[in-house]
Structure 1
């Protein structure tokens, strides 16, 4: 991981409500036109799909999870901060105390939870486990137990494992960060 890679973080922008899409569009085009694409990496509007039924017809709609807020992944610098905060529709950063102070980024677990709720795997963790392999569970409700891999969902960063509890086999869905390989 290079220096820039480790410096990237997610920040929350406050926008005028209803202008989230416009802010995303403006920010992406400003990053490109001002050569800040290596510093302003991603702009996301947290949304979830909801189902509504009207006149007997089911309709899928995207609903904003945090109306009036946009997430931006960036490498904080004076230039990047200036470009983002002066983007039309941005009223400021959440976590900035004003008077020119830079904002605090989201904690990794906060952004992971938001991205997961949108169906995005926050971090691609490479795990070379195979079906039928025994693994140790290091996090979650089954921490400290061992299991056997029964299913791999690599694009989601998850596995399913069979765990013995109370003399019975139980299926557990686990994230890659909740498991480790057993030492041979």
Structure 2
């Protein structure tokens, strides 16, 4: 099964059909001012309190990093008071290659916009701290008590986060018109005939001497017009 399909299946299993909510207008302006990319905290290894479980919280759209920063501050405050109920806060991201203005660059893209992962010991105190963090709209899960992720789901997520191989952001599909940016066909335009995701290649039909000729190219060699 292709990686994107696995990712979609995992998202449906964990998050269901909950859609991220847009923040109130005044809060959206504040989030835009403070929301900046941050390096993801490493997942700690070693012996842990068996009560620690991973939970998913949903946030206002665009608030993920702000929620993480706020929770990490509260986590340190709880730690200084002898508590170790919240241990890790993660915003799942992946490295992505994109072509913009003819230039290639790598960016960190949120895998699940509107969601943050929290490793915590669930009790009334820790629930209150997380639920009342600005930008948090609730825990993912049915019923009055949040449901932790299954161990298999956690393993899949953490494996996905450890994959540092950048992937191309695909902005075209079959039938899209693209411009070739490099090689002997540079500046030619053509129509996408096939997108080969696993190979990171695309087959483009280019008009040569009045005939549509298939040309196989790397994702990085074309851009959508």
Contact 2:58 2:114 in 1 (8 A): yes
Note the residue ranges of structure 1 that are not aligned, 5 or more in a row: 121-184
- CA-CA distance at 1:96 after TM superposition: 4.2
Instruction: Tell me, yes or no, if structure 1 residue 41 matches structure 2 residue 87.
Output: yes
1:57-99 per-position Cα deviation (integer Å, ceiling 9, x unaligned)? 21111111110000000011111111111111110000142xx
Contact 2:58 2:116 in 1 (8 A): yes
Query: Which residue, out of 43, 46, 53, partners 1:9?
Result: 53
Query: Which residue, out of 60, 75, 78, partners 2:121?
Result: 75
Note the residue ranges of structure 2 that are not aligned, 5 or more in a row: 1-45, 164-225
Once the two structures are superposed, the pairs formed by residues 30-179 of structure 1 within 5 Å of their partners are: 30-35=74-79, 38-97=84-143, 101-119=144-162
- The aligned length equals 116
Over the aligned positions, Cα root-mean-square deviation in angstroms equals 1.9
Q: In structure 2, do the counterparts of structure 1 residues 44 and 80 end up closer, same or farther at CA, with 3 Å as the change threshold?
A: same
Structure 1 stretches of at least 4 aligned residues deviating more than 2 Å after TM superposition:
33-37
Paired position in structure 2 for 1:21? 65
- CA-CA distance at 1:33 after TM superposition: 2.3
- Higher strand proportion (structure 1 or 2): 1
- CA-CA distance at 1:34 after TM superposition: 3.7
What is the TM-score with the length of structure 1 in the denominator? 0.59
Structure 1 stretch 17-26 or stretch 37-46: which is displaced more?
Answer: 37-46
- Higher helix proportion (structure 1 or 2): 2
